[in-house]
Amino acid sequence: MDMRRRSFLAAGAAGAAGAAGAAALLGEAGTAEAATQAATEVPARRPAGFLNENVPLRDLAAKIGLRIGSAIIPQDIDTPTWNAIAASQFDVYTPGNEMKWQVVEPEQGVFDWTGADNLVSFADASRALVRGHTLCWHNQLPNWLLANVAAGDYTKTQLLDLLQQHIFTEVGRFRGRIWQWDVCNEFLTDSNPSQVDPSNWWIVNAGPECIPLAFTWAHEADRNALLFYNDYNIGGEDGSNAKHNAAFALVQGLLEDGIPIHGVGNQGHLDTQYGWSPQLLRQDLEHFASLGLKSAITEADVRTFVNNATAQVPTDNLALFAHPFEFSEMLKAVLAVPEAISFTMWGFTDSDSWVPGFFTGEGYATVYDVNQQPKQAYYSLQSELAIAAHGAPHRVKTYTPPITRPIS
């Protein structure tokens, strides 16, 4: 009798059911041998809340301490049906745009925290955490900053001072309310080998020291927030693992220099037209863990070619299989690595996905369709999480003939 069986029998009700089952089996199989065997067996047991359509992803994931998240845009909060999905299914939210510098300081010294504050309040109301996104990125910078830098108005030191001020202001405002911050975002080249991009706007204008400084300032502003480096194609999505190796070298160097960094965010933007190795993703997450770092999937989605941007029906029937498969495999890589602490999708419905606006002819990237109905990918994530949380239910008892004689 193994430990699993013993603990089930110890549950009393299960033990009584087992004895009743033995009596029934004696009549059925008609041998004392079968009765003895049956007495030690357990009845089928499907854990309560194991798997039905009403069990939210966040509840299943919570059983193993994993957070399930989504990027949230204002429309997700303002539209009641979308709000209901976001509030019930996810327990970590990332603002899609509302904490980016362009949004929070549209004019120098003039702040607009409306979207960021709403997101944090929504998270509080939904008992969800927040991933702050993002403090130092070459994209979505305010026009005044871009214009002043282009005009040569700042020395490197003055630009670094502005970055420090930005980080102190934003991280300070939300001190104690942010679980993970994406401090630096997308600094690596897509080449093989990959490296910190010498033509990156921040590297050109402020110098490579902006990366360690950004982490140091974020830590000064909120000692408890987990500080992440975040990028795409660092989980083997480029086939070569070149970008993973560059990310590894970057964060290893930061650690060696005593810089406060706690995790690596793997964005997880996949496209069914490209090959991708789930095994490589798991190994890459383990590789980051070998440095003592946490990891997270931060922007998962799986895009494919569709009929049009409104209906977003895949044009290749095989995409209907590739789409849930790739979501499932990303999640399974996370489940296999205890240091991977959250799995966040970049939007939860095809209606609010960034994909159709950025990739001509592509869409269908999220787990809910354009009518906010769950797709197969949703159910795949749900069953992976259910099995992770509870284990698979024990098989139902059947009579099994003894295998003792060779077949003549």
Contact positions vs ligand G3I (CB under 6 A): 96-97, 139-140, 185, 267, 299, 354
Q: What share of the chain is helix, strand, coil (3-state, %, to 5)?
A: 45, 15, 40
Q: Which residue is nearest to ligand G3I (CB)?
A: 354
Q: State in angstroms the smallest separation of the CB of 106 from ligand G3I.
A: 10
Kindly tell me which of 139 and 310 has the beta carbon lying closer to ligand G3I.
139
Kindly tell me which of 18 and 268 has the beta carbon lying closer to ligand G3I.
268
Give the C-alpha separation, 402 to 393, whole Å. Answer: 24
Sign of the torsion angle spanned by Cα atoms 231, 339, 263, 356: positive
Q: State in angstroms the smallest separation of the CB of 230 from ligand G3I.
A: 7
From the candidates 186, 237, 326, 339, which is the catalytic residue?
186
Kindly tell me which of 299 and 384 has the beta carbon lying closer to ligand G3I.
299
CB 207 within 8 A of CB 187: no
Give the C-alpha separation, 375 to 324, whole Å. Answer: 8
Q: State in angstroms the smallest separation of the CB of 167 from ligand G3I.
A: 17
DSSP E strands: which ranges in 234-307?
263-266, 269-271, 294-305
Q: Active site includes 186?
A: yes
CA 400 distance to own-chain centroid: 43
From the candidates 41, 98, 170, 299, which is the catalytic residue?
299
Kindly tell me which of 71 and 85 has the beta carbon lying closer to ligand G3I.
71
CB 263 within 8 A of CB 230: no
Q: State in angstroms the smallest separation of the CB of 143 from ligand G3I.
A: 12
Q: Active site includes 329?
A: no
CA 207 distance to own-chain centroid: 31
* Residue 374 φ/ψ, nearest 5 degrees: -60, 140
Catalytic site residues?
186, 299
